[in-house]
């Protein structure tokens, strides 16, 4: 089963999939901590790929930016900027959060401690350890994610722009072909693409 619905619907579907011992691919985002715990528990019974973004390109970027962050270190500020259509319900996107988690882990930081999700007013100087995650909602943007490494005298930007939702469907199909050959457990697109 491939599911890109809502957290509560996904868990309902996953319970049925677990009952019938089938495989599942989940692209749903916005799970609460309690819901994530149930998802992880159910995934011990079935093979399951769970990823906030099924795009091959965005997952390859997640591999590359980790190495970039480690190499650049504390001398470069890290910002994640994401843009999606005006109807998107969660913010920041699951993909932006995944990117920020990869970056934080790569520089040995806890995203819960260093994530900055908005700036307004006299906020003072930016700290060396913060990771900014900024959200834009407008029009019919399918999904844009930019990782910005800002150093003194230079800026490096890595951007992924999804121009069609087809990229997510193609990635989900690739994940489905892969996951049906796996033992029970929780996997992600890094496993599917052999990027570990």
Active-site annotation, residues: 84, 88
DSSP secondary structure letters along 20-86: TT--EEE------HHHHHHHHHHTTTSEEEE-S---HHHHHHHHHHHHHHHHHGGGSEEEEEEEE-T
Residues in the chain: 196
Here the tokens at position 83 are: 């843009």
| C-alpha angle 80-86-88 in degrees, rounded to nearest 5 | 70
**What's the rounded Cα separation, in Å, for the pair 10 and 51?**
13
CA distance 123 to 104: 22
Which H or E element spans position 165?
none
Question: Per DSSP, what are the bridge partners of residue 187?
Answer: 49
Please check whether residue 179 is in contact with residue 47, taking contact to mean a CB–CB distance below 8 angstroms.
yes
Give how far Cα 174 sits from Cα of 25, 46, 101, 169, Å.
Answer: 10, 18, 24, 9
């Amino acid at each position: 089963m491939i599911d890109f619905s809502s957290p509560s619907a996904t868990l309902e579907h996953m319970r049925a999939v677990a009952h019938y011992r089938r495989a599942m691919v989940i692209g749903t985002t916005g799970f609460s901590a309690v819901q994530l715990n149930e998802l992880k528990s159910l995934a011990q019974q079935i093979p399951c790929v769970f990823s906030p973004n099924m795009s091959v390109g965005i997952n390859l970027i997640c591999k590359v930016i980790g190495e970039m962050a480690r190499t650049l270190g504390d001398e470069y500020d890290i910002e994640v900027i994401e843009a999606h259509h005006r109807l998107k319900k969660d913010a920041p996107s699951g993909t932006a959060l995944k990117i920020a988690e990869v970056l934080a882990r790569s520089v040995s930081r806890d995203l819960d401690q260093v994530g900055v999700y908005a700036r307004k007013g006299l906020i003072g100087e930016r700290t060396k350890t913060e990771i900014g995650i900024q959200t834009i909602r407008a029009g019919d943007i399918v999904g844009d994610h930019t990782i910005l490494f800002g150093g003194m005298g230079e800026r490096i930007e890595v951007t992924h722009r999804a121009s069609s939702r087809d990229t997510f469907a193609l990635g989900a199909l690739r994940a489905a072909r892969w996951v049906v050959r796996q033992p029970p457990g929780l996997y992600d697109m890094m496993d599917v693409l052999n990027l570990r």
